[in-house]
Structure 1
Amino acid sequence: MAWLINSMEMHIHRTYLFLCTAKAIWDDVIENFSDLKIAFQVFEIKNKLKDSRQGNLDITQYYNVLQTLWLELDMHYEADWGDLEGNVKFKRHLEKERLYDFLAGLNKELDEEQGSEKMIGIAKDDDRLYYFENDEHVDKQATIAQNISSTSNKDVMM
């Protein structure tokens, strides 16, 4: 027991001097300091999430970085929901918040370069499934309209 007390910093070990067993010391240390470690880990993950940006990554790589951090963060949540409805509402809210975080971290040039290959498509929502879809129908209509316009311009010029 003495080695345990002596291994602690002076200002900390005074608190444990009067405990009778090594188990009592360990139990008290775990109770007092384990939450701090978890809180620090959650703080670090949330900072990484807040600072995450797409940068030079493609969209899939960027999403995978966020997904890894979200999974790591989920391991620290100890939510004990009394009813299923509250749990479902919380998960939907969390999914939307994560979608907003993902979109906020995308490169701004994707918004500005409409019509280029860098466009990721139109955001769709299908029963909590969020995805991006290229709207081929709109692209085809635009191409047909361009072809019709250029053909009629040629006819007028002749």
Structure 2
Amino acid sequence: VTTICLTKENYLPWSAAMTMGIAACGRIAYINGRKPEPAETSGVWDIWFLEDNQVKTWIVNSVSADIQPFILQKKTARDMWVILENMYGQKKKAIRTYQQMKTVYELRQGNLYVAYYYGALKAKWENLDYYFDVTWHCPQDQALYVAKEWENRVFLFLAGLNDEFE
């Protein structure tokens, strides 16, 4: 379904790729909760069980070996998905926000081309934006914040460039 293997650091790209892949296979309802387990006595349980196990297999095969024990014994694909989302994807987790900010501030150009360095930094900013999802009550404050944040990001980009650009 995806070639991205979930680690402790890449939940966002992994979940986006998995969601696309599972949806493309017609099985998205198994992870979003819209296809709960029917009664075993119903005529559709066998098909549900087969398809849910197919999604569970995709999930298990797309996570790193150190993450597999947390989900391997879960009953449904939805249970697995929720566990992973709670462990690695919660928007309000302070520790995740800290980790994302730390990677942004530590990134340097090093041996990367400037365009690749900018792309890597932009990807980290997008991950950080996920954790800083704020609902604004005043559009003017939001505009001021976005402008200031853009300025800070320009400074971070410049600070991470190699000395040859000074």
Q: Which has the larger radius of gyration?
A: 1
Alignment TM-score, normalising by the size of structure 2: 0.44
Which has more strand, going by share of residues? 1
Alignment TM-score, normalising by the size of structure 1: 0.46
- Answer 1 or 2: higher relative contact order, Cα 8 Å, separation at least 6: 2
